[in-house]
Amino acid sequence: MEWVLLGILGVLILYVILEYNKLVRLRNVFQNAFKQIDVTLKQRHDMIPQLVNTVKGYAKHEQATLTGVIDARNQAEKLRGQSDSGDAGSMLALGQAEGLLGKAMGGIFALSEAYPDLKADGAFRDLMEQLTTIENKVAASRRGYNNTVLEYNNVLETFPTNILANMFTFKRASELDFDDREAIQNAPEVEF
């Protein structure tokens, strides 16, 4: 009888160890995926001053739009520096800031339609290509991060692992969502 109980206890302990390690591994995976987003967001933020400078030469009367972009960029960069991967509040704030930045950038893209000289400028065209590729990289890395978060949460919240997760204070991770899909898709397609 004792042997049976000991056996069950042993299996139970083994199960706890395996599940714990699985949770740690999945947490590392999504935190690593967030680092990739961080890299692409930094690239995005570093591009903004260059974009504003190029546009400034052609569109002097659009100061409001341009300062709007700079402000949004500074806010997003500040939040990026403080962001804590997976934390709900942090992800929400960062997502909103990046969403606002995306919308502000959409304003610049729309504005370029009104300045044919600007659209024809070689430097602006190169810039647009760089911006487009960074936007796509942000989107791709965000998709990758959200997938890893989903995988982690699925394991975390299903019975009986959820009991374990509570015991060892594993927290639910949050996805990162931007509210700017249409702004990015409206980026002008440049002709070569």
154 is a site residue for other proteins (CB under 8 A): no
Out of 88, 140, 150, 163, which residue is the one contacting other proteins (CB under 8 A)? 140
96 is a site residue for other proteins (CB under 8 A): no
Out of 74, 130, 162, 186, which residue is the one contacting other proteins (CB under 8 A)? 130
Residue of 41, 47, 13 whose CA lies nearest to 129: 47
Q: How far apart are CA 30 and CA 133, in angstroms?
A: 23
Q: Is 72 left (phi over 0), alpha (psi -120 to 50) or beta?
A: alpha
Out of 117, 129, 157, 179, which residue is the one contacting other proteins (CB under 8 A)? 129
125 is a site residue for other proteins (CB under 8 A): yes
186 is a site residue for other proteins (CB under 8 A): no
**Window contacting other proteins (CB under 8 A); options: 10-18, 51-59, 74-82, 137-145:** 137-145
Residue of 72, 68, 39 whose CA lies nearest to 55: 68
CB of 2 or CB of 191, closer to other proteins: 191
Q: How far apart are CA 125 and CA 116, in angstroms?
A: 12
Residue type, 2: E
- Report in angstroms how near the CB of residue 130 gets to other proteins at its nearest: 8
- x/- letters, 22..61, toward other proteins (CB under 8 A): --------------x---x---------------------
Cβ proximity of 156 and 170 under 8 Å: yes
143 is a site residue for other proteins (CB under 8 A): yes
CB of 37 or CB of 72, closer to other proteins: 37
Number of neighbouring beta carbons within 10 Å of residue 125? 16
Q: How far apart are CA 85 and CA 158, in angstroms?
A: 22
Out of 54, 112, 141, 146, which residue is the one contacting other proteins (CB under 8 A)? 141
Residue 169 burial (10 A CB sphere; 0-12, 13-18, 19+)? exposed
Q: What is the DSSP letter of 1?
A: -
DSSP-derived 3-state class of residue 83: coil
Out of 21, 53, 136, 154, which residue is the one contacting other proteins (CB under 8 A)? 136
By CB under 8 A, name the binding residues for other proteins: 36, 40, 125-126, 129-130, 132-133, 136-137, 140-141, 143-144, 189, 192
